[in-house]
Amino acid sequence: MSRTQHEHGQAAPHHDRDHPHDHAHPHDHAHPHDHAHPSGFRGFLHDLFVPHSHDAADSIDDALEASREGIRALKISLFALLLTTLLQFGVVMISGSVALLADTVHNFADALTAVPLWVAFVLGRRIASRRYTFGYGRAEDLAGLFIIAVVAISAVVAAWQSISRFIHPQPLHNLWWVVAAGLIGFAGNEAVAIYRIRVGQKIGSAALVADGVHARIDGFTSLAVVVGAAGAMLGFPLADPIVGLLISATIIVLLWGTVRSIGARLMDAIEPDLVHRVEHALLETPGVLAVSEVQLRWVGHRLQGAASITLADAPLSEADARAAEAVARVRGELPNVDAFRVRPIPIHPPSPDEVGA
């Protein structure tokens, strides 16, 4: 049955090396999550600023529809952030608040990050070519790098403006307008954050989730602007540039989580829970005795993978059917799998001579 050692499913990376198969997995095993999250207030902050980039169980199973969802989210949030930025900039002009200016600059930068991500979603729709044999989904992760760079630059610009205001202090005007603009900034950014993160999780896009987290950071820095204005009202005008510096420092600190997320995607890191779920789906397939290797990776907001499974001895047609069913079970477990390849390895019963020996 040497012919059964071929692969089933669509193209995906795999290894041809053999593995020992004497470690069959029981079918009733449980797969615990081995990436525990903090609880309590720390857990609340973690979920707020470092949310999961996906929920594969609820993901859209059609790649084109997933891209449409992502583009729709970017369009709506782009116009919402631009409107918020324009309102805040108008208040900057009449108040002279450098903290509000820092917040406005970052809001504008966050709005602009939607553009390369939009392009990446459109580019990711293109079919694979002879040069880009895995398709163009990586454009989405590269857009994530651009987002990181833009947000970091905006933090530096905000810090520079705040330092300049320390050296050349200027009086603030219309502080109640500054308070109102800060509250508008918080409301607009939080609404965009919730929308982007929700859609990003739905389609499995780390870059879109990262963009949502940046909008959430903007929202809380807008509240910091309110604090700076309140300090100025109480007779402490330096509260405004101090808050501007704190905004810049906060952006840089929270940006690290996004750097790790996007970097992990580019290094083909995968959530262990997804590997467990693929193993479980394969082991639930009739005739599968063991799973010796599972590979998964994100390409943009879609998954690709491969696995080696040990099959009981069966005719070639039956082995083909089992392998095809294994692929179908994986796709049923993870709807956003675009390509998954199974390499069946049959086990032959021992011959009479081997039994006598």
pLDDT band at 278 (very low <50, low <70, confident <90, very high): very high
- Residue identified by tokens 């050349």 is 168
Q: Which of 308, 232, 299 is nearest to 266 (CA)?
A: 299
* Between 262 and 99, the higher pLDDT residue: 262
DSSP 275-303: HHHHHHHHHTSTTEEEEEEEEEEEETTEE
Q: What is the pLDDT of residue 350?
A: 53
Mean pLDDT, the chain, integer: 75
Q: Is the pLDDT confidence value at 165 over 80?
A: no
Q: In b/e form, how buried is each residue of 263-275, taking b as 16+ CB within 10 angstroms?
A: ebbeeeebbeebb
pTM of the model: 0.62
Region 134-140: what's the mean pLDDT? Answer: 83
Per-residue pLDDT band at 329 (split at 50, 70, 90): very high
Query: 20 φ, ψ to 5°?
Result: -65, 145
Compute the average pLDDT of residues 214-225. 76
CATH of 2-33+271-356, one of 3.30.70.1350, 3.40.50.920, 3.50.50.60, 3.30.428.10: 3.30.70.1350
Residues 6+ apart with CB under 8 A from 298: 141, 204, 206, 265, 268, 270
250: which residues sit within 8 A by CB, 6+ positions away? 217, 220, 221, 224
**What local confidence, expressed as pLDDT, does residue 351 receive?**
53
Angle among Cα 178, 179, 182 to the nearest 5 degrees reads: 85
Q: What is the pLDDT of residues 63-112, one digit of tens each?
A: 566 777 888 888 888 888 888 888 888 888 887 777 677 778 777 877 77
Domain boundaries, the chain: 2-33+271-356, 51-266
Q: What is the pLDDT of residue 348?
A: 60
The answer to which of 9-13, 121-125, 138-142, 351-355 has the lowest mean pLDDT is: 9-13
**What's the confidence (pLDDT) of residue 327?**
92
| Bigger pLDDT: 5 vs 275 | 275
* Mean pLDDT across 215-225: 76
What kind of architecture, by CATH, is found in domain 51-266?
Up-down Bundle (1.20)
- Separation CA 263–CA 252 (nearest Å): 16
Q: Which amino acid is located at 201 in the chain?
A: Q
> Edge-to-edge strand order for the sheet containing 302-312?
8-9, 337-347, 302-312, 288-299
Of 44-58, 82-96, 157-171, 271-285, the least confident: 44-58
Whether residue 217 has pLDDT greater than 80 = no
Using the predicted structure, report yes or no on whether residue 120 has a pLDDT greater than 50: yes
Q: Are 213 and 51 in contact (CB under 8 A)?
A: yes
> Which amino acid appears at position 222 of this protein?
S
pLDDT tens digits for range 15-45: 333 444 444 444 444 444 444 445 544 444 4
Instruction: Give DSSP secondary structure letters for 125-136.
Output: TSPP-SSSTT-S
The C-alpha angle 16, 19, 20, rounded to 5 degrees, equals 155
The model's pLDDT over 184-206, given as tens digits with 9 standing for 90+, comes to 888 888 888 888 888 888 887 77
Q: What is the pLDDT of residue 325?
A: 92
